[in-house]
Structure 1
């Protein structure tokens, strides 16, 4: 029986606001094997959980995160945007997939990887994003586990794979078919997909042999994932 890793996308966003501590805890309580979080830096260099460039969509303040200090973010959101250190503490014992949105600089990536190290969480954290961000992760931590996000059906170039050394290739789920999965497996890597949120799409992916599914509906995936 193959077991697929169930990754909760930004926690449990159908029950709690995404990327909050309540959302992460809920996802793990509902059976997620890992939680996926988005991490950016505040103006004063504190890694916090936020997917968007601004606080507008989730918190009603249309201000860029990069213009705000961590204290200002805490004030504006009532503590709702947690620092990465708090998220790692809240998920202690669970796996965490850190996405790095927005094309962060190498310095920003190093700051985030350093925060993970300071928390002693290297063994349970892995990273996903495009090649440039993952090269920065690899430079900051040569032993980091990486899921290289890839948006093309054409395979990554050999030079990219050699430099990044990903364990996973991470695809939008609609791109993935059995042939792609078999090709990635032949090359000695695992296939991660995002974000199928219906039973039908999840079952199709289970049937073609993907290794990990990142979803907003981890509750749907809990039933069919083991097979």
Structure 2
């Protein structure tokens, strides 16, 4: 592990809107593990990085309490499984979803976030530099303080150097937009436990340009730690000529219904800053799709047999989850054809992707081998497999965080520890689907009470003050932020 480089990266992460570092852990040494955490994965909070405001005592307590449930707290500030307990492999879409997309920081936190891999997008500048970017032009995920934008088909390295990435709220950061080599080096230094980097090639390239891409990748990364994917089947055919062994993922165009829904969302979102931030990754895909359609580069969908014949057995299908649901035999046909894996993605939001996977499992359908998502590994895996390990009885927590964790039931949202401490103190907790529940079930009232005793109870309780909760739990209110606003005109 390159700890000197890690220190530099920790400093960089602190500049791009990450959580503050605790004052008692700013000095990092070569042996950065807190006492009692050396057996935890390298990505555990308190080992490789200190990205939260938790004290050292709280970090250790959180980790040991979560360990009794088969979990640990990652440096990406989300829980993850200590053992492989998930039905699918989870890839961080454009890096960790809490960090600027396609940035070095998002890639690093994807490594340390408990994911099975990280997906990034690469494009070629006009003067031959491979950069990490998704859209057909700059401005949404990258930008400049003066607002100037560039088309990726025309941008040169000098202009690329003037760009920085935006955080998930759309604000410009101090982190510059990366070249491909900028993300390959930290991936080489920090990836672990079989993680793979999915390098999606976002544009047309000839064989010499793709060979240059492959030389850059192979000079930095060990074999087996990366693979390529693309919407463009011809690009993958050329890449197979260059490398006979690397895995190649053929990305199907999204389902027509998914495209229509994404366009509707994009039209609404351009009128609302809140909606724009919420759906900006979907908007970015719509922009990219429209560019491909205008330039007549939209891809047809080749079958599993065609993919196997052209790309070999070390290849697979990456399909829209809506297409996956509409094709009940897609997984079995892909395996029969000899493909290595089937992955799913969505352009209609993470919640839709997750609910679709849960529905597939409830129907007894085979799940994909891999999912590419804007959420934590724990969130989707917990939805698919809600039962956690039985708590160990021997651990005694030392802080309010550990005590809260030990009291939480299996359906709790373990990603919101700060809030759970407050709710548990009031004998409540937050479920993983955002509901508030009581830790102590309310006992059923007896139905055999006499009318007189019922009347007596009613009169005695009417004068008593109701028990007050220390926290206010509001009733959910239906709000439609996407509807046309109501304009009220005040008469003069």
User: What TM bracket, shorter-length normalisation?
Assistant: 0.7 to 0.9
1:125 aligns to 2:226 (yes or no): yes
- The within-5 A match list for 1:138-153 is 138-151=240-253
Residue aligned with 2:176, SS: coil
- The within-5 A match list for 1:3-152 is 3-13=87-97, 15-60=98-143, 61-77=148-164, 80-92=176-188, 93=191, 94-129=195-230, 130-151=232-253
Task: Find the partner of 1:183 among 305, 308, 333.
Answer: 333
More deviation in 34-43 or 70-79? 70-79
State the 1:63 CA deviation.
0.7
- Kindly tell me: are residues 155 and 131 of structure 1, through their superposed partners in 2, closer, same or farther at Cα, counting changes over 3 Å? closer
State the 1:152 CA deviation.
8.2
1:203 aligns to 2:358 (yes or no): yes
> Contact (CA 8 Å) 1:47, 1:83: kept in 2 or not?
yes
> Contact (CA 8 Å) 1:45, 1:111: kept in 2 or not?
no
Other-structure match for 1:172: 320
> Contact (CA 8 Å) 1:53, 1:102: kept in 2 or not?
no
* TM-align CA RMSD: 2.6
State the 1:160 CA deviation.
4.4
Residue aligned with 1:75, SS: coil
More deviation in 194-203 or 110-119? 194-203
> Contact (CA 8 Å) 1:88, 1:121: kept in 2 or not?
no
> Contact (CA 8 Å) 1:39, 1:100: kept in 2 or not?
yes
State the 1:170 CA deviation.
1.0
Residue aligned with 2:317, SS: strand
Superposition TM-score, scaled by structure 1 size: 0.86
Aligned residues: 226
Rounded Cα–Cα distance in structure 1 between residues aligned with 2:90 and 2:304: 28
State the 1:24 CA deviation.
1.3
* Larger proportion of strand: 1
Larger Rg: 2
Structure 1, unaligned runs of 5 or more: none
Rounded Cα–Cα distance in structure 2 between residues aligned with 1:157 and 1:225: 27
- Kindly tell me: are residues 57 and 110 of structure 1, through their superposed partners in 2, closer, same or farther at Cα, counting changes over 3 Å? same
Other-structure match for 1:163: 310
> Contact (CA 8 Å) 2:87, 2:381: kept in 1 or not?
no
Residue aligned with 1:214, SS: strand
State the 1:85 CA deviation.
1.6
- Kindly tell me: are residues 180 and 32 of structure 1, through their superposed partners in 2, closer, same or farther at Cα, counting changes over 3 Å? same
- Kindly tell me: are residues 159 and 168 of structure 1, through their superposed partners in 2, closer, same or farther at Cα, counting changes over 3 Å? closer
- Kindly tell me: are residues 120 and 16 of structure 1, through their superposed partners in 2, closer, same or farther at Cα, counting changes over 3 Å? closer
Rounded Cα–Cα distance in structure 1 between residues aligned with 2:135 and 2:124: 12
Superposition TM-score, scaled by structure 2 size: 0.42
Deviations, residues 124-151 of structure 1 (Å, cap 9, x unaligned): 1111113111111111111111111134
Rounded Cα–Cα distance in structure 2 between residues aligned with 1:205 and 1:43: 44
- Kindly tell me: are residues 157 and 147 of structure 1, through their superposed partners in 2, closer, same or farther at Cα, counting changes over 3 Å? closer
More deviation in 146-155 or 61-70? 146-155
Rounded Cα–Cα distance in structure 1 between residues aligned with 2:218 and 2:127: 19
> Contact (CA 8 Å) 1:20, 1:81: kept in 2 or not?
yes
Rounded Cα–Cα distance in structure 1 between residues aligned with 2:373 and 2:243: 27
- Kindly tell me: are residues 2 and 120 of structure 1, through their superposed partners in 2, closer, same or farther at Cα, counting changes over 3 Å? closer
Deviations, residues 8-65 of structure 1 (Å, cap 9, x unaligned): 110123x222100111122222211110000112233221100112212222332123
More deviation in 125-134 or 1-10? 1-10
Other-structure match for 1:214: 372
- Kindly tell me: are residues 226 and 95 of structure 1, through their superposed partners in 2, closer, same or farther at Cα, counting changes over 3 Å? farther
Residue aligned with 1:96, SS: strand
